[in-house]
């Protein structure tokens, strides 16, 4: 590479994990930012795209993740999928509630999403916790790929158990590795490289004592949106976050506890073992933090990542100014 140019094509990939493929959040919150990222990538690097899929879900009973108030419109959703398909990027629906009952299965939003994504089962999929919902989807849309969520692994106490992950591999197209296990090379070495997906920027501390409670609160809060019970669940969720041990919070940073976020050397060690599927969280992140993680993990770190991150931040800054006018 000339001293007067920056890397293009596959040279824009991170040199420590050039063939890594990333599942990134969030289809419903950060979609415009991701599209800006992809546009910049195409202009600057031409042929390099590290994104495998976007994931997320709107407000609905099947979604067990962080509650969002974005309402689902099928026509807008279909229109948003087309630019992804043209880039060979799919969408994975986070149907990650552990509270699903038979009464929830007719949910119109969930079924509309399934109908949309079933048109491209080669690219799209679902991330599930509930075996009831998993069977429901398999019976109606057998071609749609299913992945086992981190939430499922957590509630079934599967973390730290290679045998548990291998059993998931028999049932699911892919499974998410519990964040506590993502740096444990002894556990990872016993797993199928094509089945496992490694989360690289999990903000929680290792062995977080509140993880199950946090997942449970999110799922209950999701179900309470637009009901009289919402204020109580909102307060409970705020209390969970207020007591969070993540070192990313100012009141916790002096405790010097390690988060599950992978360092560069740890990421490289996992990649060198043969793992290629990685997950970037970020549904609750502000867009500037989101852009930082997206670029630092997916791009060459000296030239490409700073260039794209600064371009996105400039674009975000202009958007904030426009909204303020």
Q: Could you read off the pLDDT of 21-58 as tens digits, one per residue?
A: 999 998 998 999 999 999 998 888 777 889 999 999 98
Q: Yes or no: say if 207 and 184 are a contact pair by the CB < 8 Å rule.
A: no
Tell me if 180 is assigned to some domain: yes
49 within a domain of the structure (yes/no):
yes
Compute CA distances 242 → 61, 96, 252, 288, whole Å.
25, 23, 10, 22
107 found inside a domain: yes
CA distance 161 to 23: 24
- As a whole number of angstroms, the distance between CA 30 and CA 286 comes to 9
Q: What average pLDDT does the segment 217-235 reach? A: 76
Q: Is residue 65 scored above 80 in pLDDT?
A: no
- Global pTM reads 0.91
The percentage of residues in the chain with a pLDDT greater than 90, rounded to a whole number, is 64
Residue 9 lies inside a defined structural domain of this protein = no
231: in domain: yes
CA dist., res. 249 & res. 278, Å (int): 25
Rounded to the nearest integer, the mean pLDDT of the chain is 88
Q: How confident is the model at residue 224 (pLDDT cuts 50, 70, 90)?
A: confident
Most confident of 10-14, 132-136, 212-216: 132-136
Range of the domain at 292: 19-324
- Over 90: is that where the pLDDT of 244 sits? no
Structural domain contains residue 268 = yes
| Placement of tokens 């599209």 in the chain | 35
Q: What is the pLDDT, as a whole number, of residue 255?
A: 61
CATH number of the domain where residue 90 is located: 3.20.20
The average pLDDT across 85-91 equals 96
Judge contact between 150 and 176, C-beta under 8 A: yes
Paired tokens of 171: 């049932």
pLDDT tens for each residue of 181-223: 999 999 999 999 999 999 999 988 888 888 888 888 888 887 8
Q: What is the CA radius of gyration of the chain?
A: 19
Query: Whole-angstrom Cα distance, residue 25 to residue 91?
Result: 10
**pLDDT confidence bin for 240, thresholds 50/70/90:** low
Residue 6 lies in a domain: no
Structure tokens at 177: 């590795």
Decide if 2 is inside a domain. Answer: no
- What is the tally of structural domains in the chain? 1
Q: What does the pLDDT read at residue 245?
A: 60
pLDDT at 36: 94
Name which of 29, 33, 49 is nearest 41 in CA terms.
Answer: 49
């Amino acid at each position: 590479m000339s001293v007067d140019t920056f890397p293009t094509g596959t040279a824009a990939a991170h040199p420590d994990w050039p063939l890594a493929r990333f599942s990134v959040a969030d289809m419903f919150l950060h979609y415009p930012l991701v599209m800006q990222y992809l546009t910049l990538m195409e202009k600057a690097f031409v042929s390099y795209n590290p994104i495998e899929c976007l994931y997320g879900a709107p407000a609905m009973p099947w979604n067990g993740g962080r509650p969002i108030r974005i309402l689902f419109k099928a026509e807008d959703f279909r229109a948003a999928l087309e630019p992804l398909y043209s880039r060979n990027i799919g969408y994975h629906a986070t149907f990650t509630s552990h509270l699903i009952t038979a009464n929830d299965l007719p949910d119109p939003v969930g079924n509309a999403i399934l109908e949309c994504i079933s048109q491209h089962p080669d690219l799209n999929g679902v991330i599930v916790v509930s075996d009831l919902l998993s069977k429901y989807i398999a019976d109606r849309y057998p071609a749609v790929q299913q992945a086992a969520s981190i939430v499922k692994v957590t509630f079934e106490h599967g973390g730290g158990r290679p045998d548990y992950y291998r059993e998931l591999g028999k049932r699911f197209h892919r499974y998410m590795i519990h964040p506590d296990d993502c740096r444990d090379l002894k556990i990872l070495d016993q797993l199928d490289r094509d089945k496992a997906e490694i989360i690289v920027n999990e903000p929680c501390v290792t062995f977080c004592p509140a993880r199950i409670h946090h997942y449970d609160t999110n799922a209950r809060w999701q179900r309470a949106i637009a009901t009289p019970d919402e204020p109580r669940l909102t307060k409970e969720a705020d209390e969970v976050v207020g007591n969070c041990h993540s070192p990313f919070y100012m009141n916790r940073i002096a405790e010097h506890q390690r988060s599950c976020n992978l360092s560069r050397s740890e990421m490289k060690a996992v990649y060198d073992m043969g793992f290629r599927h990685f997950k970037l969280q970020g549904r609750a992140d502000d867009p500037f933090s989101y852009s930082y993680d997206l670029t630092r993990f997916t791009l060459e770190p000296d030239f490409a990542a700073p260039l794209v991150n600064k371009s996105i931040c400039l674009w975000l800054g202009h958007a904030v100014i426009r909204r303020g006018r």
